[in-house]
Structure 1
Amino acid sequence: MSSSTGLELVFAFAYIIVGSILVTCLLTVFKFDISHTLTTKPGAYLTSALNSACETCLCLFSVADPHSAPKGEPSSISRGYLQDLPHRSGARPTVQGCLNPRQTDQLPAFDKDINGRLRQLITDTSAKYPESTYLGRSTFEGGNATLFARHRVFDQTKYYGEIVGMHVNDDSMTVTIHPDDVRAVIENGWGQRHPLSSRSATWLRYSTTSAHRVPKAGTQVILYAPRNQEELNLIEQVINAAVWWVGGIDSSLRKESFC
């Protein structure tokens, strides 16, 4: 991409952001009740069209090959948390979407309450480390159980935002983990890169939110939904890896102490 094209994209998005702010201000000044409008049939069509347009725009910044680990500089932290991750059997499931990626096949059928069990894993982790983590709402997926870090421990992450967030519709998860663990998860077939973990998408998120709320490019992955109890146990290991990377807590220690 030429420098002129890059500048054109920057200005285009700047105009979109400024325009959105102006429209919001006007609606506020004139006290326009947009919630009532959106409940009507034309409003529903408008919402659908806006969501589709947003999805299309974001896909321009998405990861080109989500099944390949990102290439980057070696981590100053010698190695990741997941050293002996086994290989996942079978083909990868299909994941669609950029803003709210969802797994569309190979959904869990071994336990009717798998959604509740995954949610319990997250809430138990928060209860175990109350001084370092807390439960909140995902930045992009409101309403889903999401675990956050209270503090930044590793300077390299420059981040203490979302650790792990579950997707209630398909039981997959978004986790933020060490670059070595990203490679281990992807190469062993347990997940793929989050569509918006590219450098360009990360830059866009930096420009619209607080820097500490945006993970380092290439460190967020979609973790596939578990197909059996063994895979559910493995997901717990990956959650522990995310808690260590973002929150600095080693689950092998009984007490809540930073690494």
Structure 2
Amino acid sequence: MGKVDVIFKKEDIDPASMKGKVAVVFDVLFATSTITAALAEGAKGVYPVLDHVHAREKAKSLKEPYILAGEDHGKLIEGFHPPLRTYLKSVIQDQQVILSTTNGTVALQRSSQADALYACSLLNNKAMADHLNEIHDGATLTLVCSGSSRHYTLEDFFGAGSLIHYLVEGGHWTLSDGAQTALLFYNGNNEPVADLLSKAKIGRLLIGAGMDPSEVAFVSQEGIWKTIPFYDRAEGKIKEWKHELS
């Protein structure tokens, strides 16, 4: 029987302690949702980097078509595409995406010593649960909520709860107290997910700053894609899981 634990924010990640574990990172608003959408809609891969400096360094080393996308504390980085599906879906086909965000890509980097590392969102939560039950049955799963500004965020905790819900539907797992709490939160929610995420701090801030609420509505959809974003350590990028990798 496998085990499931939850890390509440990226600052709580001990990179060395991730060894021997399977890590699943959530940044529902928006990095891991953007990664899921990008791979589902034709991007060749996504390089999650720590900041815009690392993004530009990575760009110099690539010998294939790429785009830069990212934000820094909610503000667009000069020369970068906004890191949202609406802006990226028309430009990512057959491109490598170099993605820099304040929280999600940092959490992915800090989790990269895990034996296996995935990016999850509500958009692919059901498929991710099926994949983990099939490939990592009996493993120790660490669900990483990226959080924001050293605080945990409602949307990532809800995302972790959603994955746990589908994990226990199809497999046998021992849940930590944190994982139990996330599951109870997810199962106890009675309002539309888009409304819940719009009321979260990040949702309020972004919508208040002029972001179209449809961005939140889109990433609130559960299970619309079967895409499994998997971190290939040798290449330093996230790409869609293929069974030959197993």
Q: TM-score, normalised by structure 2?
A: 0.27
Higher RCO (CA < 8 A, seq sep 6+): 2
Write 1 or 2 for the structure with the bigger share of strand.
2
